[in-house]
Structure 1
Amino acid sequence: MDKTLQWLKEITEAPGISGFEDKIKELLVKKLDGKAELSTDKIGSVIFKKNGAKSGPKIMLASHMDEIGFMVKNVTKDGYLKFLTIGGWWEQVMLGQRVTVMTSKGAIPGVVGSKPPHILTPDERKKVVQKKDMYIDIGATDENEAKKTFGVRPGDAVVPYSEFTVMANEKLLMAKAWDNRVGCAIMADVLEAMNSELHPNTVYGVGTVQEEVGLRGATTSAGAVDPDLAFAVDTCVAGDTPGVSEDQAPAKLGKGIAITFYDASMIPHTKLRDFVINLAEENNIPYQLAFTEGGGTDAGRIHVHAKGVPSLVLSIPTRYIHSHNSIIHRDDYDAAVRLLVTIMKKLDFQKYEELLR
């Protein structure tokens, strides 16, 4: 396993649901130690500043650290955990999946359960089990053991369990939390690359918090950075699986970084979009155009900060987003790093002023 794969394994397997992103922050701080100036906003987003050769525009690379997960709501008398969903979950991908409960006494395993189909009526079997009818089984004999012995209490974070896996096609990588640990990993790689590249601007790499529950860290970190330009580095739905048509999700694994021309939270700055497309073509960096009709990214908040921030979303096509196991393509990851490094080298104040005309 090469250095990049080791990095991706570490950052995807780490726990970090919305509001509990500290472990991801620690990994980013460790990776970028001594390579960028460190600061934070007041709700947990981490900001890495990399000065360039000139005092050009302030460019914000935003990647959210949080993953979707659950939170303990209460413990039943029989020792089962009822839970809240943190972020967008679809019931059909939840049942029977392993989770990790982050208790005051350490991490403990569990599994999402419900009434078994063997004892359901024929009509009940045809219906999707609702979240409210599910629970988490941690193997406790009763409420007292769950709380006193295992250390579970309401408000504890519950994280999907999945091991990072290189698939039979070694370019395909399966893990939990690609949304959006892949963006965090790309952001960190770009800032590392800036150590050996001249760039005429100030780059801010930002790991934002609580994107999955309302783009909250994007709002506060944009206030801290006050950027001139912004790029959200995130994931998008891969449309290369059975039953998905081109007009639902055009992006495909292995075809390059996806440049988003529309999502539900933002119509990107068209001159910035075209500038990035031209750079990709001039430098033979594989890219594809994508849209997202439902959902948005941190750029949805950043682009309306203060007087407005020209913004664009660059996404990694990802299969099975918002589940325990999602898949990306290594080539798309590499293309994203190459394109962002190229953008940072070209975006000076002259180009910035041209984009605003």
Structure 2
Amino acid sequence: MTTSPFDLDLLTQLTETSGVPGYEDRIRELVVREFEDSVDRVRTDAMGNVVGTLEGDSDYSVAVAAHMDEIGFMVRNVRGDDGFGFVELDALGGWDARVLKAQRVTIHTEDGDLPGVIGSPPPHTLDEEEREKTPEVEDVAVDVGLPYEEASERISRGDLVTMDQTTERVGETITGKALDDRVCLFAMLEAARRLEAPDVTIHFCATVQEEVGLRGANALGVDVDPDLAIALDVTIANDVPGFEDGEHVTDLGGGAAIKLKDSSVITNPKVHRRLKAVADAEGIDYQLEIMPAGGTDTAGFQNTAGAKPVGAISIPTRYLHTVTETAHVDDIAAAIDLLEAFLATEDGDHEYTL
């Protein structure tokens, strides 16, 4: 069995901490704390993005981006009458409501966190139409185990809701909630900690609101204005029963994924070729990612920073946008190693113009 080569405690803390789009406060505190000893200066902006800058010897700058937010919910209503209260939700990010049944959640109120459960009626009590109905987030009701009067006093419209799940080592993998994108945020923090005296200035960007339209990266593309941008995110790994080889996108244990495209971006060919060359030179396992759907912060920087070269390193992950997202420890380690090696060898003289 593979031995985890990195700080599993920090990864666990990052994945288990809550932070939905626009309300990344708890994660932001952790990121600022981790940056304190590894970069030259740290700043935040009005949206909540965090930028930790490591000064280089030249004016050439590289932005590295990983997003802090996880998909979650906002309370839109507390319903009930004389009986128990139930909480109705509005989605923050892309949810498949089929995965929500029989899950535990945490409601973040002004007076503290409240536990809740998303119930699932016994199947033998449902008629055929009910069993075949495609669920929607709007149909979900969170049972908080409190009388309506008390629930409506303690829970308010606009309170935030996140899934409740621990992070666990399972064989050679790590599984839990919010690996999207906390595992890549972790990889960025680890690379920042390892790097010393780079030739170019590096802006490590922990972005907000990626799950609702790459909004943090769009803003930072203007504010940071890098010469080169590298994004970090998870990618699809459908290497499980029920999928053909061509549908896998990536495979767990195959190494870090070097992105060629997703639905939001086609990466600069010279950038992804240099990523491959660095991986080959350093003996780092990698695979190529061609993702048919989904966007990442890569596009956010390309769309707003002008005609700048962009690339991306991804971590293959099974069961995306569920509470059992799963990544291989070797792929996580490879992504950290590749990012570190790429940045350590970036001198500003590589020609990325096409």
8 Å CA contact retained: 1:60, 1:204: yes
Give the SS at the match of 1:154: coil
Aligned twin of 1:107: 113
2:45 aligned partner, one-letter code: D
What is the CA–CA distance in structure 2 between the aligned matches of 1:178 and 1:262, rounded to whole Å?
Answer: 21
8 Å CA contact retained: 1:45, 1:206: yes
Q: CA deviation at 1:323?
A: 0.5
The count of residues paired between Structure 1 and Structure 2 equals 347
Identical amino acids, percent of aligned pairs: 37
Q: CA deviation at 1:120?
A: 2.2
8 Å CA contact retained: 1:257, 1:332: yes
Per-residue CA distance 1:50-85 (angstroms, 9 max, x = gap)? 012x21521111000000011100100241001011
1:5 aligned partner, one-letter code: L
Aligned twin of 2:299: 300
Aligned twin of 1:119: 125
| CA root-mean-square deviation | 1.5
Aligned twin of 1:73: 76
Aligned twin of 1:177: 178
Q: TM-score scaled by structure 2?
A: 0.94
Aligned twin of 1:201: 200
Q: Is residue 7 of structure 2 the alignment partner of residue 4 of structure 1?
A: yes
What is the CA–CA distance in structure 1 between the aligned matches of 2:5 and 2:63, rounded to whole Å?
Answer: 29
Per-residue CA distance 1:191-217 (angstroms, 9 max, x = gap)? 11113xx42101111110000011000
What is the CA–CA distance in structure 1 between the aligned matches of 2:223 and 2:265, rounded to whole Å?
Answer: 21
8 Å CA contact retained: 1:114, 1:135: no
Moved over 6 A (4+): none
2:165 aligned partner, one-letter code: S
Give the SS at the match of 1:188: helix
Per-residue CA distance 1:90-132 (angstroms, 9 max, x = gap)? 1211111110000111111111135543332222212233322
What is the CA–CA distance in structure 1 between the aligned matches of 2:45 and 2:221, rounded to whole Å?
Answer: 9
Q: CA deviation at 1:42?
A: 1.6
Aligned twin of 1:63: 66
- Return 5+ residue gaps in structure 1 as ranges: none
Q: CA deviation at 1:11?
A: 0.5
- Return 5+ residue gaps in structure 2 as ranges: none
Q: CA deviation at 1:2?
A: 8.1
8 Å CA contact retained: 2:219, 2:304: no
Aligned twin of 2:352: 355
Change beyond 3 A, Cα 1:255–1:108: same
Q: CA deviation at 1:239?
A: 2.3
What is the CA–CA distance in structure 1 between the aligned matches of 2:226 and 2:129, rounded to whole Å?
Answer: 55
Q: CA deviation at 1:41?
A: 2.3
8 Å CA contact retained: 2:169, 2:175: yes
Identify which of 134, 144, 155 aligns with 1:128. Answer: 134
Q: Is residue 249 of structure 2 the alignment partner of residue 279 of structure 1?
A: no
Aligned twin of 2:158: 155
Structure 1 residues 1-357: aligned runs within 5 Å: 4-36=7-39, 37-52=41-56, 54-77=57-80, 78-113=84-119, 115-142=121-148, 144-148=149-153, 151-167=154-170, 169=171, 171-195=172-196, 198-351=197-350, 354-356=351-353
Q: CA deviation at 1:147?
A: 2.8
1:139 aligned partner, one-letter code: G
